[in-house]
C-alpha cells in the first residue's frame, strides 16, 4: 500500500481536482449570485453540474461586553471616534506579505503624502534586511503624521476597525488574484500602479491611489459601488438563505441517490 506522502508525490493537485470535478454531484463555493451571477452560470454550464453558492459568510462581530474589558480597543475606539465619518483609511498587509525595507519606506512616504487620516497596523516579524520592526518605518515618520495618523504594532481588532463609522477605505495586499480581479472588475477598489517588470511602486502612486479612493472626484463611482456592495457583503440573512438552500439540496440528493456518496467540491 502506498503511503500518504507517496500519493502526494505521484498525484498532482490538478489531477486530484479534476477527478473530484468529474465525480462530484454538485459544486459550491463562498460566493453568491448577487456578486458573481455570470461566473456561476458559466461554471455550471462548463461542468454540467448544479452550483450552489454558500453566500459570502460574513464574520460575526465580537461581543460588546467583552470589548469593554479590552483596553487596546477602547483606546483605539476613542481615537477613531475623534475622526469624521468615512475619513480614515486603514492599512494592513496581513501575515502573507513581507515588503522589502525599500517598499515599506515607499508605502510610508505615500501614506504621508496622501495627507489623510490613517490607521496603519505594522506586523511584528523577523528582521527585514537586517533591520528590526521598529526600523522598517522611516525615521521621524510617526512624529510627522502624529496629528492625523496612528501606527499600531503587530495587531488591531480588524473587524471592529472596519465597522467603525470613521473608516472609509482599506489598503491591503488583497489576497488571491481572483479577489483583486473581482474588485477591480466591479469597480469596488483601485490597484496601486506598479512596474510591470519588477512589481515596484512609488510613494506618489500610493498617495494618488489613496486620494482617488477616499476623496478625489474621479473616485466617486468606486466609493458609491463599495458602499452599495456593503449591503450584500454584510448581509447575514442572505448568507443564511444560501446555506439553507445548500442543505436542502444535499438532503434531496441523498434521498434520491442513497446508493452513492454525495460528493461536493468546494
Which one is predicted more confidently, 1 or 145? Answer: 145
Residue linked to cell 453558492: 53
- Measured at the CA of 226, the angle between CA 221 and CA 230, to 5 degrees, comes to 150
> Which pLDDT score, from 0 to 100, does residue 241 have?
92
**Grid cell at residue 195:** 512596474
pLDDT digits (tens, 9 = 90+) for 141-153: 999 999 999 999 8
* C-beta separation of 150 from 122 below 8 A: no
β partners of residue 29: 53
pLDDT digits (tens, 9 = 90+) for 85-100: 999 999 998 777 778 8
Specify the pTM.
0.79
Determine whether 151 is exposed, middle or buried from the number of CB atoms within 10 Å of its CB (0-12, 13-18, 19+).
middle
> Which pLDDT score, from 0 to 100, does residue 260 have?
53
First to last CA, the chain: 28
Give Cβ neighbours of residue 186 (< 8 Å, ≥ 6 apart).
Answer: 35, 225, 229
1 confidence band (pLDDT: 50, 70, 90): very low
DSSP code, position 191:
P
Distance CA 191, CA 197 (A): 16
Percent of the chain with pLDDT over 90: 36
How far from 7 is each of 16, 18, 21, 23, 266, CA to CA, in Å? 11, 16, 19, 19, 21
Mean pLDDT of 54-73: 72
Amino acid at each position: 500500500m502506498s503511503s500518504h506522502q507517496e500519493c502526494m508525490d505521484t498525484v498532482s493537485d490538478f489531477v486530484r481536482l479534476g477527478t473530484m470535478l468529474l465525480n462530484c454531484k454538485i459544486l459550491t463555493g463562498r460566493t453568491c449570485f448577487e456578486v458573481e451571477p455570470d461566473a456561476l452560470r458559466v461554471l455550471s454550464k462548463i461542468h454540467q453540474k448544479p452550483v450552489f453558492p454558500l453566500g459570502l459568510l460574513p464574520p460575526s462581530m465580537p461581543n460588546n461586553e467583552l470589548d469593554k474589558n479590552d483596553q487596546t480597543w477602547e483606546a483605539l475606539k476613542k481615537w477613531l471616534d475623534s475622526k469624521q465619518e468615512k475619513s480614515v483609511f486603514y492599512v494592513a498587509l496581513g501575515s502573507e506579505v513581507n515588503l522589502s525595507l525599500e517598499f515599506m519606506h515607499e508605502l510610508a512616504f505615500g501614506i504621508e503624502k496622501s495627507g489623510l487620516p490613517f490607521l496603519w497596523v505594522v506586523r511584528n516579524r523577523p528582521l527585514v534586511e537586517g533591520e528590526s520592526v521598529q526600523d522598517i518605518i522611516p525615521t521621524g515618520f510617526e512624529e510627522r503624521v502624529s496629528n492625523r495618523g496612528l501606527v499600531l504594532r503587530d495587531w488591531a481588532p480588524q473587524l471592529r476597525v472596519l465597522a467603525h463609522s470613521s473608516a472609509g477605505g482599506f489598503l491591503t495586499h488583497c489576497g488571491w488574484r481572483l479577489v483583486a480581479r473581482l474588485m477591480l472588475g466591479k469597480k469596488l477598489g483601485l490597484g496601486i500602479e506598479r512596474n510591470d517588470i519588477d512589481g515596484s511602486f512609488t510613494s506618489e502612486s500610493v498617495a494618488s491611489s489613496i486620494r482617488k479612493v477616499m476623496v478625489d472626484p474621479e473616485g466617486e463611482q468606486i466609493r458609491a459601488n463599495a458602499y452599495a456592495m456593503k449591503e450584500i457583503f454584510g448581509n447575514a440573512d442572505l448568507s443564511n438563505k444560501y446555506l439553507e438552500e445548500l442543505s436542502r439540496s444535499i438532503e434531496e440528493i441523498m434521498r434520491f441517490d442513497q446508493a452513492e456518496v454525495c460528493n461536493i467540491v468546494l
